[in-house]
Structure 1
Amino acid sequence: MGSLSSRLLRPGDAVAGGGGGGRGGKRKRGGAEGPGDSEGEAEREERLLTTPRRKKMKSTSKYIYQTLFLNGENSDIKICALGEEWNLHKIYLCQSGYFSSMFSGSWKESSMSTIELEIPDQNIDVEALQVAFGSLYRDDVLIIPSRVVALLAAACMLQLDDLIQQCGETMKETINAKTVCGYYNSAGTYGLESVKKKCLEWLLNNLMTHQSVKLLKELSINIVKELISSPDLVVMQVEMDVYTVLKKWLFLQLVPSWNGSLKQLLTEADAWFANHRREDNISFLESEQGKVFQSVFTHLRLQYIINDLASARIIERDALIPTGWLSSVYKQQWFAMLRAEQDNDVGPQEINEEEVEGNSMRCGRKLAKDGHYCWRWTGFNFGFDLLVTYTNHYIIFKRNTLDQPCSGSVSLQPQRNVAFRLRLASFDSSGKVICSRTTGYQILTLRKDQEQIVLDCRLLVFPLYISCNFLYTSPQRKADSEALPEHLET
């Protein structure tokens, strides 16, 4: 039947029926030819005889599908599965790797006229088998997104490579908040790495920007671990917000029956953890109930949470994080501050992507509409007061020293470096990226009160999501990290 193509069937779509060729309008009868008509009757007849006419014939593919598959005419084998029977044809079934091996080898089924199929995969149902068998008799197949996982399971069992590919394309086209977790898990089960990658990209872009109770409930420990450890996680606004999302997610994993609104979720989570706080100073993650979640929370970049007083107080109050983790991070930040103050650390000297990706501050902001904006991300940044401005479709970084008031200490070193990556993106209603732009990883050297354009935002659409990675200090020295636990070492 040739290569298989798919058509995505969405609600409201109708399948058009075939029609015959339409009749043309009648030639208007008239009297004798006027003096201006120089074409003779013989020439007109000759032209009619030599002009080709296109007539739509009944599709061979449709005929085969209707007569052989649906009607089962001239069937030479019966397939039985899940209480249903299909009268099929070996010559068509051999397009399937599963049946090709069965019929060409020394299997007893090669000579049988009726075959009972065992279906070990619970994702496969009768409807999925009907579509999968039918795809062997036609050139295209209608794939309903809500049925794609079942169809993928059937296609994988029957080793229908073209259909597997079409299922994968359909999944990539229809990723949204309702489908992403199911697609991710199915892609892992059935080996569709490109689909799994697309789902992960969607989650990195939308976990923080488009939260929902349902989505947080569906996220497994392994998915969340991969998201939280990624430098590509789009964070709104700072790392403390990553912790807050994790706290909501953790509560929903522990109390999956909770069905309140997203607005109520944080309050309910805080109240639950307050009621379960231990009196022996053991953190929740060290308890029997919490140990299984430690591998997720180790990927929090705690150094960018404890650098803000309000955030540090919340971390201490919640008592989710082991005190040993926090003590090590405080020590790490103390050495970083001493290097900046006493050892004249001017910041990163060269781009080490692994270093920046694993240790950079993740932060972001949403611009709802075009205009003029200026902001800074809160926290102690070793005397580097970075102001970010969006104006006239440009993003500008400024090292503020004396021009603007600052609530903390400001470095007066003549020059300071910052390693950074800036990404801008716009999303459609389903969370897919419409357009994006990035600076890639760079090092910016700024003198006191110097500003510099870092990205041209023209041709991007609003609302605009800005995601940044920053590293203000040079890599941690070996002597400073000797006492750090393994998960905090650079």
Structure 2
Amino acid sequence: MGSLGSRIQGSSRGAEEASEGSCAGTGHGCDCRKRKRSSPCQCDSEAEEEDSLLNTPRRKKLKSTSKYIYQTLFLNGENSDIQICALGQEWNLHKVYLCQSGYFSSMFSGSWKESSMTTIELEIPDQNIDTEALQVAFGSLYRDDVLIKPSRVISILAAACMLQLDGLIQQCGETMKETISVKTVCSYYSSAGMYGLDSVTKKCLEWLLNNLMTHQNVELMKELGVAVMEQLVQSSDLFVMQVEMDVYTALKKWMFLQLCPSWNGPIKQLLNDADSWICKRRTELGEEEAFLSTEQGAPFTPVFRQVRLQYIINDLASARILERDNILPHDWLSAVYKLQWFAMLRTEHDNDTGPQEANKEEFDLNSMRCGRKLAKDGDYCWRWTGFNFGFDLLVTYTNRFIVFKRNTLSQPCGGSVSLQPRRHIAYRLRLASFDSSGKLVCSRSTGYQLLTLEKDQEYVVMNLDSRLLAFPLYVCCNFLYTSPASGRRADAPEPESSAHSVS
């Protein structure tokens, strides 16, 4: 018998030989001992493949965990260590789950008396919260996914905010943003403001700016309050159809519905009935007092203040309607007439050829808002009515191009346009199409732009990709034809020495 040391050495050598001459642990009877080790072994490949399979994750939803917890612990209340009572209903719950709520976490971790109580009576100060909303809110602590119906989202949001359930609040916000429509937008806007969901508030305003004028709706006009309407009408993002006069007309209809909410009829009849009502009120008041100066009309003053009257009085028929309606105080109109007169004098005698420097603030506050609906694909050419300081702008849609043309030569009468060699405008053009709920399907915008046009010059404003187009297509434009009055009051005549030529 050899020594123990020699036996160990022999075993060690045998192990080395085995590792070199065979595939240990494979059991495949491989003859790779005859190959050089530099060539790959089939058994090595199979082992690597098996190793890869063992380490590749497989997604398989386990039926047991989530459903079991929700059913057994929440619905059945097994092993409950606390009872929550609210609105006449009881829930047998568990502190460890309730601590996911900021409301209960603070309650249980502090020195509040409730931290040691096994039955807690909740006071519900918010009228939007009901038992069904609490059921969803408590249940969300026991499951990963919660289905929220749009009809229930405000109540669930109210409960989630009270219980400080951040995840559920976020999910309510996403549900609201995805389901904005003519039936939900006002309630969503109000609730988003109440519960601090700024992103929902923004989405609702975007929807209203896009749809208020393009898809006028009686019920929506009844719901819109003074504050939100003021915000919409003052915005340069309001999608106007056709011209600024249509904003004023829409406000007449809205004001009538606010004062006569029981009115019920088709949208086509609304303006006639609103005009009849205004005519009757005018007769009662006499010709001297404007309706907004009365106690009944005063609440609507902030909204009508936002109408850009300078683009209404530049059209004779529209100016006559303003005078006839006698809604606006006389000093409003007098001030606008005066401002426009001096603006016209600047373009004619002071060579104001239009904005040549970027002034986004001036553009947002004072640009002309106008729009057009293209019902189907085809060729269109149009102009928006009104005297725009001698700038006759033609807009053409053809072959998926939108073109601006400064029209000077073909005019019905002399003196109707400016013959200055160059004129400048600031503009923004937007295109949009909507689905049945008023949600944007596609949209394009040029952004804020400055443009110089010579006589009868054309300019391609937008080249459209047919794959992105959907009809009806809504075109909305903002224009600024004159430059600011150089820091002077627009109603103050400038000294002769200060006149200058801008080219």
Shared fold (TM-score, shorter chain, > 0.5): yes
Deviation of the 1:428 alpha carbon? 1.1
Deviation of 1:426 (Å)? 1.2
Conserved 8 A contact 1:81-1:116? yes
Greater shift in the superposed pair: 328-337 or 273-282: 273-282
1:421-467 CA-partner distances (Å, limit 9, x unpaired)? 11111111111111111111111111111111011122322111101
Structure 1 match to 2:92: 87
Q: Choose which of 117, 139, 142 in structure 1 pairs with 2:144.
A: 139
Paired position in structure 1 for 2:463: 456
Determine the C-alpha separation between the residues in 1 that align with 2:414 and 2:148: 58
| Distance (Å, rounded) in 1 between the aligned partners of 2:76 and 2:193 | 37
Query: For residue 6 of structure 1, what is the aligned residue in structure 2?
Result: none
Q: Counterparts of 1:14-413 in structure 2 under 5 Å?
A: 57-277=62-282, 278-279=285-286, 281-403=288-410, 405=412, 409-413=416-420
Q: Measured at CA, do residues 478 and 103 of structure 1 come closer, stay the same or move farther in structure 2, by a change above 3 Å? A: same
1:308-332: CA deviation from partner (whole Å, max 9, x where unpaired): 1111111111110000000000000
Call closer, same or farther: CA 1:257–1:118 in 2, change over 3 Å: same
Is the 2:338–2:491 Cα contact (8 Å) retained in structure 1?
A: no
Q: What displacement does 1:403 show? A: 3.5
**Which residue number corresponds to residue 476 of structure 2?**
467
1:476 aligns with 2:485: yes
Tell me which of the two structures has the higher relative contact order, counting C-alpha pairs closer than 8 angstroms and 6 or more residues apart.
Answer: 1
The Cα offsets for residues 195-239 of structure 1, whole Å up to 9 and x where unpaired, read as: 000000000000001111100000011110100000000000000
Q: Greater CA deviation, 253-262 or 55-64?
A: 55-64
Aligned to 2:450: 443
- The change in CA–CA distance for 1:406 and 1:429 in structure 2 (over 3 A counts) is farther
- Going from structure 1 to structure 2, the CA distance change for 1:86 and 1:417 (only over 3 Å counts) comes to same
- Residue pair 2:342, 2:490 contacting (<8 A) in 1 also: no
Task: Note closer, same or farther for the CA distance 1:83–1:405 as it changes in structure 2 (3 Å cut).
Answer: same
Mapped partners of 1:452, 1:206: distance in 2: 29
Aligned to 1:420: 427
User: Which structure's CA Rg is the greater one?
Assistant: 2
Paired-residue identity, %: 75
Deviation at 1:248, TM superposition (A): 0.6
Matched residue SS, 1:142: coil
Which residue identity is paired with 2:75?
L
Tell me the distance in 1 between the aligned counterparts of 2:415 and 2:364.
26
Q: CA deviation at 1:291?
A: 1.0
Decide which moves more: 294-303 or 252-261.
252-261
Shift of 1:372: 0.6
In structure 2, how many angstroms separate the alpha carbons of the residues matched to 1:446 and 1:206? 32
Distance change in 2, residues 1:244/1:57 (3 Å): same
Partner Cα separation in structure 1 for residue 433 and residue 479 of structure 2 = 21
CA distance in structure 2 between the partners assigned to 1:360 and 1:58 by the alignment: 60
Say which of 422, 427, 440 aligns to 1:433.
Answer: 440
SS in 1 for 2:92: strand
Opposite residue 422 of structure 2, the aligned amino acid is Q
Matches of 2:324 and 2:339, distance apart in 1: 21
Give the count of matched residue pairs: 435
More helix by share: 2
1: CA distance, partners of 2:243 / 2:268: 19
TM (norm. structure 2) is: 0.84
For structure 1, the residue ranges without an aligned partner over 5 or more in a row are 1-46, 484-490
Question: In structure 2, what is the Cα distance between the partners aligned to 1:54 and 1:198?
Answer: 36
Secondary structure of the residue aligned to 1:446 is: strand
